[in-house]
């Protein structure tokens, strides 16, 4: 009973006080209960893939949004983990439980290798440098088709789970857990330093903080989460191909994050769950699919330049002028310091 009372108190005092938190909880509940409402495998497949891409997009937001290390080659981490996972599974027969974490660690190693030479680059120079790495790796894949599968990629990989509904729950639960971890990282002391590096790296260095160490940490963390997404994607589709290293894959993460709301983590998740199913629904108009999709993005960003989640949040919540805590727009006084909000 005591636990129940604590849970009810937490829900009442921490979740129901903000509309955005209520929306977030409803989103999580909907994802978890959806298989009970529909048995359509096509819908579950789209949402499972969206969950995997949400991890990928959030990892880009962690690196580029919070730290300001703009990466145009984020597909490198995704692709390295995908190929590592595929090779370990196909050549050695290891299960996804082993191959996916090892693939993520391979992405972390690549994050170090990419981060070290790019540390002193900024702005467009950093973006172009990161763009070169996946193109280089794609060239290596084409040079050794016997090992990497060439243009056809590596197929015949073990499924993520025996049943599609199990694959759905694995993807969704991992997305919720990993995105929550990323959000907590950005809300911690490390996240504050990441913010500071993005805003004024010279001032952070002058205060005695080793910015190089924290930027490398950002590359490694981002690579790890993107690597998890790459491993999941490989086992879900049962193939690892050059398209996972393509420029389009990197720019998809950027589009999803900016559309949903950059520097939020949850904005990247929202962007994926809005845009990816929308793109699938537009298959009915195959000839005009990409044109309609581009127009939707342009129109939404024209009205909501900071992203859809930021726009919605600012409409239903406002910040207290005294303590800076967010409150529901309907409140007349702050829920923390009781300052007048009218």
How many Å apart are CA 112 and CA 114, to the nearest integer?
5
Torsion over CA of 244, 297, 260 and 28, rounded to 10 degrees? -80
- pLDDT for position 11: 73
How many Å apart are CA 325 and CA 44, to the nearest integer?
37
Cα atoms in the 13 Å half-sphere on the side-chain side of 126: 18
| pLDDT reading at 10 higher than 80 | no
How many Å apart are CA 166 and CA 153, to the nearest integer?
26
How many Å apart are CA 273 and CA 50, to the nearest integer?
6
Where residue 238 falls (left for φ over 0; alpha for ψ -120 to 50; beta otherwise) is left
For residue 239, the cross-strand partners are 155
| pLDDT reading at 123 higher than 70 | yes
Distance of alpha carbon 91 from its chain centroid, rounded? 29
How many Å apart are CA 309 and CA 274, to the nearest integer?
11
How many Å apart are CA 238 and CA 92, to the nearest integer?
16
Task: Assess contact for 161 and 238: CB atoms under 8 A.
Answer: no
Question: Over the range 21-60, which residues count as b (16 or more CB within 10 Å of their CB) and which as e?
Answer: eebbeeeeeebeeebeeeeeeebbbbbbbbbbbbbbbbbb
Tens-digit pLDDT profile for residues 35-69: 998 889 999 999 999 999 999 999 999 999 999 88
Q: What is the DSSP letter of 340?
A: B
- Looking at the chain, the whole-number percentage of residues with pLDDT higher than 90 is 63
Query: CB 281: neighbour CB atoms within 10 A?
Result: 12
- pLDDT for position 325: 83
Token couple for 290: 């990409």
Token couple for 235: 């086992």
For residue 154, the cross-strand partners are 240
- pLDDT for position 95: 92
| pLDDT reading at 6 higher than 80 | no
Task: Assess contact for 277 and 50: CB atoms under 8 A.
Answer: yes
Tens-digit pLDDT profile for residues 69-95: 889 999 999 999 999 999 999 999 899
Task: Assess contact for 307 and 260: CB atoms under 8 A.
Answer: yes
Token couple for 141: 């894949």
- DSSP 3-state percent helix, strand, coil across the chain (nearest 5): 75, 5, 20
- pLDDT for position 1: 65
Tens-digit pLDDT profile for residues 149-185: 888 899 989 999 888 899 999 999 999 999 999 999 9
Cα 322-328-332 angle, rounded to 5 deg: 60
Cα 46-71-96 angle, rounded to 5 deg: 45
How deeply is 226 buried, as exposed, middle or buried, from its count of CB atoms within 10 A (0-12, 13-18, 19+)?
A: buried
For residue 139, the cross-strand partners are none
């Amino acid at each position: 009973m005591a636990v129940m009372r604590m849970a009810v108190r937490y829900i009442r005092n921490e979740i129901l006080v903000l509309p955005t938190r209520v929306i977030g909880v409803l989103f999580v509940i909907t994802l978890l209960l959806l298989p009970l409402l529909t048995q359509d495998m096509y819908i579950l497949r789209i949402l499972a893939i969206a969950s995997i891409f949400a991890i990928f997009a959030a990892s880009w937001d962690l690196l580029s949004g919070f730290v300001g290390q703009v990466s145009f080659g984020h597909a490198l981490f995704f692709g390295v983990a995908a190929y590592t996972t595929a090779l370990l599974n196909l050549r050695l027969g290891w299960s996804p439980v082993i191959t996916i974490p090892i693939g993520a660690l391979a992405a972390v190693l690549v994050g170090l290798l990419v981060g070290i030479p790019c540390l002193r680059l900024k702005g467009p120079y950093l973006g172009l440098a990161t763009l070169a790495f996946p193109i280089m790796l794609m060239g290596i894949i084409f040079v050794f088709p016997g090992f990497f599968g060439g243009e056809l990629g590596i197929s015949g990989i073990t499924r993520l789970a025996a049943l599609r509904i199990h694959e759905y729950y694995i993807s969704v639960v991992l997305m919720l857990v990993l995105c929550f971890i990323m959000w907590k990282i950005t809300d911690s002391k490390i996240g504050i330093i990441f913010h500071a590096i993005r805003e004024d790296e010279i001032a952070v260095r002058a205060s005695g903080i080793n910015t190089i160490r924290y930027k490398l940490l950002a590359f490694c963390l981002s690579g790890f989460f993107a690597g998890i997404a790459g491993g999941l994607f490989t086992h879900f589709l049962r193939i690892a191909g050059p398209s996972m290293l393509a420029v389009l894959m990197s720019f998809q993460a950027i589009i999803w994050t900016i559309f949903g709301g950059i520097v939020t983590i949850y904005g990247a998740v929202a962007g994926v769950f809005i845009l990816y199913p929308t793109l699938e629904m537009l298959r009915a108009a195959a000839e005009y699919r990409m044109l309609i999709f581009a127009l939707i993005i342009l129109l939404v960003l024209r009205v909501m330049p900071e992203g859809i989640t930021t726009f919605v949040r600012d409409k239903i919540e406002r910040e207290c002028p005294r303590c800076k805590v967010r409150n529901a727009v309907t409140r007349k006084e702050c829920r923390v310091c009781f300052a007048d909000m009218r």
